[in-house]
Structure formats: structure tokens, C-alpha cells
Amino acid sequence: MNYLKDLETIININSYTQNKNGVDEVGKYMTKWLNELGFETKVYERELLGDHLLFKTPKIDGPKILLLGHNDTVFPQGYFEEFKEDDEWVYGPGVCDMKGGNIVALQALRNIFKENTELFNIDFLLVSDEETGSDDSKEVSSSIAKDYDYCFVFEAAGENLEVVTSRKGVGRYIINIEGKASHAGTSYKKGINANLEGAIKLQKYSELINLEEGTIVNVGKMEGGIGINTVSPHCNMMMEFRFDKKSEQKRVMKEVEKITATSYVEGTKSHAEGIIQRGVMEENENQLKLIKFFEELTSQSIPKERRGGVSDANIIASFGVTTLDGFGPYGDGDHTIKERALKSSFEQRIEMMTKILRHYQNNKK
């Protein structure tokens, strides 16, 4: 388990998304290790964020594979930076999310490199801003997605070592409501209450929730007004919605626009700005066929699960690439100071991914 020493090395480097120097330092180690396996490095230089890194091998006939991970973590310098281990677990920022997953991919590549001495048709993308939404790196991911037949993502495995076939999509809106200020005691009728309009809209937006379809709409932040004795002239709302189906994405967006355009309090004006941060990753037949093939290839059962959280798998899958996530180790406590990963799951994941990648190195199908 010498790979755990490599994991310790990069865990002990703070790679908070906003810590460019730290993220780039992790990237330098990954570059060194992958260059030793014959990968060429394409660097997407960034001024404020860590550089995104695409490691490439020569291409021949046969399926083209993208391995996908991220180097950034969630805690700033001075918080939760120590690597520890005991007989069963390793602890530290990123041991399961997802430096641990990157090490699984690296070790599997090392294993097949020993057998083949030259790798081909496998690229490895490591981005630097996944933990803040991949707002920058998704341009890189989107630009290369069409070059691949399969994408394997190394976020943490499920509790029973499931791979992930489905992830919710995420959309975000900022809603601005304009009213008119007036003295609440002496001139109430002259005012137009933006906060009241916001309260009504909050209820209307919440009515779009459909848990049976997996659709969640949440106004997570709402603020407005000037003071206790003034009719509110403005109200701002920040809303996120998550969805399991493209049809639900379309429904929610259509209804949000309708609710926003409606003035429930006469005289108010509202405007919404929205984006789809990550499209939905829907389970599909190509994934299920691939899992069945991997079960035959590895002589083991590979359970699957659907997750409400998002990852960069959403981005690649949205381009029609057959994508499976959750190839990292099993762990829990991610995004907390209790993050840990199960040592035995590293062994299982490395063995499975070695068999999978070995197949694609030895066969052109």
C-alpha cells in the first residue's frame, strides 16, 4: 500500500480552491507521477485559480477513455490539514473527496503501465475548482468531452462500493424585486411593499417542489427593506433547484419565469437571472450495459446508486458520453473535519479499475 504515502504527500498540501499555490503544488506531484507513466501534460493556466491539467496518451483505434478528478478541497489554510491513519481508515482533507480517488486512478495506471510499458487511449483530466461549482473548468471539460467514448469519475464510492449512474442537475436564480419606499406610519398607502411580494413569490416557488419526481426548489437566502418603519422598496432572493429529469428542469424554469413576471402586489417589478450550473446526469441503458460488462470482466457484483449531489460527471454526461462516477474509495465525513476513507476500499477500487483499464489496453473494443 505504498500509494498511501503518495496520498499522504498531497493531503498534507492545503489545496483549498482559492489557494492557487497549494492547488498547483498538488498538480505538480500528479504531473510528476503521471509523466513517469508516459503521459504528456496540457496545462490550462489560470491567474487566480489553480491550473487545470489534462494528461494525454497517444491515440489508436479503439474506445477513448477520460478519467476525471479534481485537485481542490474545501478548507482554507489553518483548518483541518493533517493526514492520519489507523488500521482501518485514513483521515484528512480530500482522502475521499477526492485526492483519494485520484490516487486510485494513478495506482491503477501504474499497474497496467508495468505490463504494457506504453499507455494509449486514456486521458486524465484534473480540474482545480470543482468544489466551488466548476464555473471555470466546465469550459475545459465541455471542450474536450466529444473526444471520448467513456468517462470514469473518481468521486467517492457508495457505502456498499456502489458506482454512481445518476446525479441531479442544479440550477440557480437570483430574483430582484422592486417596490417603493414610504413611511410605514404616516404614508403606508404610498408605498409598494417588495418584501410582501417576495413572501408571496417564496410560497409560489416552493409549490414547484415535486419530491416524487426528485425535484427540489429552495430559496436559501432572502433579504430586503431599509428599516422597521419603512415600507420595503426592494427584496432579493437566491434560489437553487435540483432535478432528476430534463423535463423537470424545463418545467421549473418555465414556472419560475411565470411567477417572476407576475406582480402579486400591485406596482412591484421583478427580474430573475438564472443559470443551469450543471445539467442532470440521467441513468441510461449504455451505463447499465457497461456495468454488466464490467461485472463479467472483474468477476464481481457492481452495485449502483443515484445521488442528489453533483460532480463534474454531470458535465461530461451532458454531451452524451457514457459516464460512470464513484470509482474512488468509500469514505464519509467529506466537507467536514471528520473526513475519512476506508483502506480496504482503496484495494478493491484499484483492483477493479486495473482490470477495466487493462482490458482497454489489450482490446480495441
Query: pLDDT for 302-341, tens place per residue?
Result: 999 999 889 999 999 999 999 999 999 999 999 999 999 9
With a CB cutoff of 8 Å and minimum separation 6, the contacts of 23 are 15, 16, 17, 49, 50, 51, 71, 72, 128
d(CA 276, CA 173): 9
Length of the chain: 365
DSSP H helices, 58-129, are 99-116
Average pLDDT, the chain: 96
In the chain, CATH 3.40.630.10 sits at 3-167+280-362
d(CA 103, CA 8): 10
Whole-Å CA distances, 300 to 36, 207, 327:
31, 44, 15
CA-based nearest residue to 231, from 277, 267, 185: 185
DSSP for 21-33, please give it: HHHHHHHHHHHHH
| Section 5-10 average pLDDT | 98
Q: What angle do CA 337, 339, 341 make, to 5 degrees?
A: 160
- Report the topology of domain 3-167+280-362: Aminopeptidase (3.40.630)
| Section 245-256 average pLDDT | 96
Q: Is the pLDDT of residue 90 over 90?
A: yes
| DSSP helix, strand, coil percent of the chain (3-state; round to 5) | 35, 30, 35
Q: What angle do CA 181, 184, 187 make, to 5 degrees?
A: 80
Cell numbers 407576475: residue: 262
Q: Is the pLDDT of residue 184 over 80?
A: yes
Query: pLDDT for 188-207, tens place per residue?
Result: 999 999 999 999 999 999 99
Q: Is the pLDDT of residue 243 over 90?
A: yes
Amino acid 116: pLDDT: 81
Q: Is the pLDDT of residue 183 over 90?
A: yes
| Section 38-52 average pLDDT | 98
**Global pTM exceeds 0.85:** yes
For the beta carbon of residue 139, count every other beta carbon within 10 angstroms. Answer: 12
| Section 229-252 average pLDDT | 97
Amino acid 308: pLDDT: 86
Q: At 127, phi and psi to the nearest 5?
A: -100, 170
CA-based nearest residue to 333, from 9, 69, 95: 95
d(CA 330, CA 332): 7
Strands (DSSP E) contained in the chain are: 40-44, 52-56, 65-70, 84-85, 89-91, 122-127, 150-153, 163-167, 169-178, 182-183, 216-224, 230-231, 234-243, 269-278, 304-307, 322-324, 331-332, 340-342
In the chain, CATH 3.30.70.360 sits at 169-278
With a CB cutoff of 8 Å and minimum separation 6, the contacts of 285 are none
CATH of domain 169-278: 3.30.70.360
Query: pLDDT for 164-182, tens place per residue?
Result: 999 999 999 999 999 999 9
